[in-house]
Amino acid sequence: MTLVIDAHNHIGPRTGAGQTGAELVAKMDQAGVRKGVIFPFVEGNFTNDAVKVAYDEFPDRLIPYCAVNAWEPGAAAEVRRCVKEWGFKGLKLHPTINGYHLADPKLCNPLFEEAGDLGIPIIVHGASDLFNAPPEFAEMARRFPRVKLLMAHMGFFWGVEQAIAYAQELPNLYLETSRAPIHEITTAVRELPPGKVIWGTDSPFVDYEWEFKKMERCSKDPATYAAVVGGTIAEILNIAA
């Protein structure tokens, strides 16, 4: 059976949204999704506590990442603490909401160094906004070749073609599909080598089932489909099928 892993979900409280581990697992069960990557909402003053609670409750279903605000002086230490003490598997950043350029050397180099030392991937909000446009990803992927970097939303709206070109050029840059339309996803899957496009939903901000169902159209090749909906992120996170 295809190993299906959702690479992008938010857990915790947030004004206007919010999601618990149990709520997410119920959506995953209904859609036939085996595992889900989870991280906090990053608006305002956030912590990683709700992710820890959800992971403790569903250790076989949920894959915890921490999130930090790069402006916080203790950001790199918090990444290390979450990985070393809590067993977290990755890092989420949101340059636009927290207000910094992804390629800012003083703010982000220490976080990428830490992720490289810890051997964890980084997923970054990657719509075509100023602070995290595709060239900022390319710069960081070049600067830190040992860090696997996922561009969430694959540069949608205006940066998709740039995102595809950079993912083609840089072995450690991956495109994550949440909230992108199937036309753009199909284009990325067709133009890129295998193992570069990764499925995620961005729950709870989506119709969960639809975000999964739309992926049936991403490729007619079963092996390619399996890589997109779980195989590639499983390799990155060393998850056995």
Q: Which residues are near Zn ion by CB under 5 A? A: 202
Q: Which is nearer to Zn ion, 78 or 202 (CB)?
A: 202
In the sheet that 197-198 helps form, which strands lie side by side, from edge to edge? Answer: 5-11, 35-40, 62-67, 90-93, 122-125, 149-152, 173-176, 197-198
Compute the least distance from the CB of residue 30 to Zn ion, in Å. 20
Tell whether omega for the bond before 157 is within 30 degrees of 0, i.e. cis: yes
Shortest Cβ 240–Zn ion spacing (Å): 27
The CA distance from 210 to 201, in Å, is 9
Cβ at position 204, least distance to Zn ion in Å:
10
Q: Which residue, 79 or 226, is less far from Zn ion as judged by CB?
A: 79
Least distance from C-beta 18 to Zn ion, angstroms?
13
Nearer to Zn ion, 114 or 176 (CB): 176
State which residue has the least CB distance to Zn ion.
Answer: 202
Which residues lie closer than 8 Å to 22 by C-beta, 6 or more apart? 57, 58
CB of 201 to Zn ion, least distance (A): 9
Of 176 and 184, which CB lies nearer to Zn ion in the complex structure? 176
- Residue 77 in contact with residue 58, Cβ under 8 Å? no
Query: For Zn ion, which is the closer residue by CB, 202 or 211?
Result: 202
